[in-house]
Amino acid sequence: MKSYLIKRTLHSLFAVFGVLLVVFLLLRLTPGDPALLLLPDLAPPDAVAALRKELGLDRSIVIQFWVFVQHVAHGDLGESIFYRQDALKLVLQALPITIFLTFGSFFIALVISIPVGVISATKRYSWYDHLTLIGVLLGQSMPTFWLGIMFILFFAVLWHIFPTSGSGGWKHYVLPCLSLSTYMMALVTRLTRSGMLEILNEDYVRTARAKGLSEKVVIGRHALSNTMVQIVTVLGLQVGTLLGGAVITEKVFALPGVGSLIIKAIELRDYPVVQASVLVTAFLFVFINFLVDILYLYIDPRISYVSMEER
């Protein structure tokens, strides 16, 4: 257990290092002078020279990286060119909206898809099952942002139930969360259904039925809890997909989260903000994956730590 935790922590730390390296290289490998990228257009030459010195661009690339890591460790990700504010602060201000959107969708997807998948598996080949499968296929083939646009069209423009865009009360998050959750909903429903179908054929399920346990107990305690193990493994990666999807969903619904911030910063060539946003989202993603792996251990005590280490 302990050795697994240590190994997993090292793995995450390595991922953090990798993220730092990639973000560092992204900005350095750009054609042209990074100092020019970081400064507004037509900056005076002495300002460029000063920034070059400050960034250490006159030194070797390894030292530059080390300086960059030190800056990040101190929470210094530069100043936004456009907003004239601390870049990290801007990102952290926008972050709650993105997190809310991501986890809101995450929970909507789980709450809906697991029961739907279980019922679908127990009623295999019924019209309910077929309907679910069609829904799953559509959900996996639909760009979530287009569904968002369609939601706005029906629920906001035509029926005026929810606001079209912007941030405010809970009503502003209903449509974004629903549309963002569809892909994961489809995936988890599919996994729950196929996992349940497989497990319902297992000997121990037959034994449980044979000894007269109620169907509720057989499905809930015996079958579902084992299916959950398979589902949890994909959840970590799904959070990443949701985080990425949140960028686009925010744009569709004009929510001022990290996604909108990145897009705006890219348009304005505000590289410190782009850099800070990418770093923060990637760190968040690494952290969530770490949590999911730890959670995985608790959910399935059978898993030997040896086999986990092989992953």
Partner 1 sequence: MGKQRTSHRLRLPFLLRVKESVGGIFKRLLRHRVATLGGIVVILAFLCAIFAPFLSPYDPLEQNLANRLKPLGWTDIDGHVHILGTDQLGRDVMSRIVFGSQVSLIVGTASVLLGGILGLILGLISGYFGKWVDDLIMRVVDITLSFPFIILALCIIAILGTSLFNLIIVLAVTGWVIYARVVRASVLSVKEMDFVQAARAIGTSDFKIILKHILPNVVAPFIVISSFQVARMIIIEASLGFLGLGVPPPIPTWGNMLSDGREYLQEAWWIGTFPGIAIVLLVLGINLLGDGLRDALDPKTYLKE
Binding site residues, partner 1, CB under 8 A: 11, 14-16, 18-19, 21-22, 26-27, 29-30, 137-138, 140-143, 145-146, 149-150, 152-153, 157, 164, 198, 229-230, 240-241, 243-245, 247-248, 251-252, 262-263, 266-267, 274, 278, 281-282, 285-286
Nearer to partner 1, 53 or 150 (CB): 150
Nearer to partner 1, 5 or 138 (CB): 138
Nearer to partner 1, 18 or 96 (CB): 18
Place of tokens 């569809």: 182
Of the candidates 146, 157, 213, the residue with the CA atom closest to the CA atom of residue 182: 146
User: Bridge-partner residues for 86, per DSSP?
Assistant: 79
Nearer to partner 1, 46 or 267 (CB): 267
Closest distance between partner 1 and the C-beta of residue 214, in Å? 26
Q: How many whole angstroms separate alpha carbon 71 and alpha carbon 79?
A: 12
Of the candidates 87, 28, 21, the residue with the CA atom closest to the CA atom of residue 265: 87
Closest distance between partner 1 and the C-beta of residue 294, in Å? 17
Q: How many whole angstroms separate alpha carbon 61 and alpha carbon 77?
A: 18
Closest distance between partner 1 and the C-beta of residue 144, in Å? 9
Closest distance between partner 1 and the C-beta of residue 2, in Å? 22
Nearer to partner 1, 49 or 266 (CB): 266
Closest distance between partner 1 and the C-beta of residue 279, in Å? 10
CB-CB neighbours of 114 under 10 Å: 20
Closest distance between partner 1 and the C-beta of residue 150, in Å? 7
Cβ neighbors of 100 (< 8 A, separation 6 or more) are 173
Of the candidates 81, 8, 72, 70, the residue with the CA atom closest to the CA atom of residue 42: 81
Burial class (CB in 10 A: 0-12, 13-18, 19+), 297: middle
Nearer to partner 1, 51 or 258 (CB): 258
